[in-house]
Amino acid sequence: MAELDHWHPVLFADELGRKPAHVRVCDRELVLFRASDGTATLGALADVCPHRGMRLSEGRVEGGRLVCPYHGWSFAPDGEGKSPATPAARPCADAFDVVERYGLVWIKRRGAEAAFPALDVSGYHLIGKTRQRAEAPLEVTLDNFIEVEHTPEVHALLGYPRERMAEVTCEVTSTETSVRVYNEGPQRALPRPLYTLLQIEPGDAFVDDWTTWFSPVYTVYDQYWLDPATGQRRPNALRIAIFFVPVTTGQTDIFALSYALAAPWDRYGLNAFAYLLTRAFVVMELRRDVALLGKLADKSPELRGRSLSRFDKPLGLARKRIETIYRGG
């Protein structure tokens, strides 16, 4: 399979209104549109009219069809075209499969038989969605998200204290289709009110347990805290799904969906407040990641010749699976 054979999130659902929207994914330019015929149908076409090359995203939606602003040719979501001036013509636009799920719009090559990315958030509560763009290739962007060694340097709250990084465990397991990393170590010091809000105590162990999948490339993080005395889990936990979407060879979009285990109505609504802060923290930490990625001197995905640490084992495992699964070898 090639990249676009996998489902990719390309837009937030609420960004797609009555007007068609232009997106770029895997170096392809697409136009997305929402039918205005009362159904929930979405369309995704190559953003170029097969007639004279106009950008269809400059056009408008009429009923269930997208109309080109140049000569008024119109296209159905499956690409079937009509030319008002030449009724016998049967133009055809390049169509993609498109679906709206989890508040995102997803596309893949028409007819590709990829499974939809597995994301079990049943019983979790959405706290926020965000998109950040990294000026780095897919592999190099992913690298940042599958090791915790950078957290004391790059992040403000996430991860482990610099002086105790040596205590952090890093267990890597892999299957043909996934790479899983389990990190456990002391939670870095946080501002006092955050302990109350997150329902944790100073001295708790922080677990960051994630699995990366490759159809498409995405990582689901389970983050929770353990009472060091009993080893029992604290009541709350986060589950964050991050999708890595190549825009061009040198740019990667990061779509993050953050969920909390604790219900917003728990603790008399205090959790709802905790959600607001957590959502802001996730955005802040992701911005730190992409800012850093933009400053890399060498953005080559090549790992050979680099000095790697004990936390970098997942990088090579991910490279191999990106080649065999995501890019299809």
Contacts to another protein by CB under 8 A: 39-42, 99-101, 113-116, 118, 120, 122-125, 224, 232-235, 237, 261, 263-265
- d(CA 77, CA 226) in angstroms, rounded, equals 50
Beta-bridge mates of residue 253: 133, 245
Q: Tell me whether residue 26 or residue 35 sits nearer to another protein (CB atom).
A: 35
The minimum distance between CB 111 and another protein, in angstroms, equals 9
Q: Tell me whether residue 40 or residue 166 sits nearer to another protein (CB atom).
A: 40
The minimum distance between CB 37 and another protein, in angstroms, equals 11
Q: Any residues with CB less than 8 A from the CB of 102 and at least 6 apart, and which?
A: 119, 121, 257
Q: Tell me whether residue 177 or residue 300 sits nearer to another protein (CB atom).
A: 177
**Helix, strand, coil shares, percent, the chain, to 5:** 25, 35, 40
The minimum distance between CB 236 and another protein, in angstroms, equals 9
Beta-bridge mates of residue 192: none
Beta-bridge mates of residue 250: none
- d(CA 54, CA 73) in angstroms, rounded, equals 11
**SS3 call for 22:** strand
Q: Is 34 exposed, middle or buried (0-12, 13-18, 19+ CB in 10 A)?
A: buried
Q: Tell me whether residue 203 or residue 250 sits nearer to another protein (CB atom).
A: 203
Q: Any residues with CB less than 8 A from the CB of 196 and at least 6 apart, and which?
A: none
Residue 95 DSSP label: B
Q: Tell me whether residue 123 or residue 329 sits nearer to another protein (CB atom).
A: 123
The enclosing H or E element of 245 equals strand 233-248
The minimum distance between CB 251 and another protein, in angstroms, equals 28
The minimum distance between CB 271 and another protein, in angstroms, equals 12
Q: Tell me whether residue 89 or residue 263 sits nearer to another protein (CB atom).
A: 263
Tokens for 254?
A: 């990061």
Q: Tell me whether residue 120 or residue 298 sits nearer to another protein (CB atom).
A: 120
The minimum distance between CB 233 and another protein, in angstroms, equals 4
| Cβ atoms within 10 Å, residue 18 | 9
The minimum distance between CB 8 and another protein, in angstroms, equals 15
